[in-house]
């Protein structure tokens, strides 16, 4: 996500300083204060996160909390001190997924795994510290050019497997990192009202339907299975469709996930 945002800022010729985990440990409060105060930014895009959802249940539980909660608290505290607007990326996993309606931004949260719990605590930290100078953007099923993601996994598996089985009873909205980066910059440039937003690409699908679209130009057969056929360590929401009305009301145009996927595949 961070790399995608950097490329967008380059394209827009907007000045920025990008930190990596090698140059800035967000769990180190003193280092965060020193680095951010030296830069004195007007905006902080907080893209850092621990996203190993299954590992967060056991071996990664501590680092999950350190990065997603303590790290976020460190960034929010220094953002407040320097007067910077904070943009924080959260997740659909703050919801339990036990409904059949789209989740609006003020829907009741009830995370079912450690990752979702930590990201929700991160949201609460941002709201508590930043008061009214923040944007929390929840997103879901992220794919993009940089890092590991579902699209790359399906493409890689298709090279050696004539048949793939993919879960068909978890429903959500895929999100291209480029669309997310564009919205992150949009809220700042348009001076959108601060608060909570949802951003994914438009349209709804299952992981099975997502996989079929990814591999539609191959000979690979994609077969549906249920979540019970493919048990995972961390419980995932069964229905985590984020309502996009609040985002659309800002005038931000959201491509469908199928159009976004097509554009992404042309890039890679």
Would residue 131 be called left, alpha or beta, if left means φ above 0 and alpha means ψ between -120 and 50 degrees? left
Catalytic residue chosen out of the listed positions 88, 103, 115, 239: 115
Q: Which residues contact 212 (CB under 8 A, 6 or more apart)?
A: 166, 222
Residue closest to 87 by CA, chosen among 150, 172, 1: 1
Report how far residue 47's alpha carbon sits from residue 8's, in angstroms, rounded to the nearest whole number.
Answer: 14
115 is catalytic: yes
CA angle 155–143–134, rounded 5-degree value: 175
User: CB burial class (10 A; 0-12, 13-18, 19+) of residue 150?
Assistant: middle
Helix or strand or coil: residue 200?
coil
Residue closest to 69 by CA, chosen among 55, 48, 98: 48
Which sequence positions are flagged as catalytic? Answer: 115
């Amino acid at each position: 996500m961070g790399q995608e945002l950097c490329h967008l800022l380059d394209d827009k010729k907007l000045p920025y300083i990008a930190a990596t985990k090698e140059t800035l440990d967000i769990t180190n409060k003193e280092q965060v204060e020193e680095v951010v105060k030296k830069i004195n930014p007007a905006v902080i895009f907080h893209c850092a996160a621990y996203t190993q959802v299954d590992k967060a249940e056991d071996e990664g539980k501590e680092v999950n909390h350190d990065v997603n909660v303590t790290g976020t608290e460190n960034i929010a505290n220094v953002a407040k001190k320097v007067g910077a607007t904070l943009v924080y990326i959260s997740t659909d996993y703050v919801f339990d997924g036990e409904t059949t309606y789209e989740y609006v931004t003020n829907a009741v949260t009830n995370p079912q795994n450690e990752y979702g719990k930590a990201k929700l605590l991160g949201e609460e930290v941002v709201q508590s510290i930043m008061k009214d100078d923040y944007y929390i953007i929840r997103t879901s099923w992220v794919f993009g050019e940089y890092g590991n993601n579902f699209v790359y996994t399906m493409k890689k598996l298709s090279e050696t497997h004539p048949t793939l089985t993919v879960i068909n009873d978890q429903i959500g909205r895929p999100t291209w990192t480029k669309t997310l980066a564009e919205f992150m910059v949009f809220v700042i440039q348009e001076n959108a009202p601060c608060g909570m937003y949802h951003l994914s690409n438009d349209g709804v699908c299952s992981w099975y339907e997502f996989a079929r679209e990814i591999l539609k130009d191959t000979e690979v057969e994609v077969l549906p299975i249920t979540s019970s056929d493919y048990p995972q360590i961390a419980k995932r929401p069964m229905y985590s469709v984020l309502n996009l009305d609040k985002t659309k009301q800002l005038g931000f145009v959201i491509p469908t996930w199928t159009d976004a996927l097509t554009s992404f595949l042309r890039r890679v």
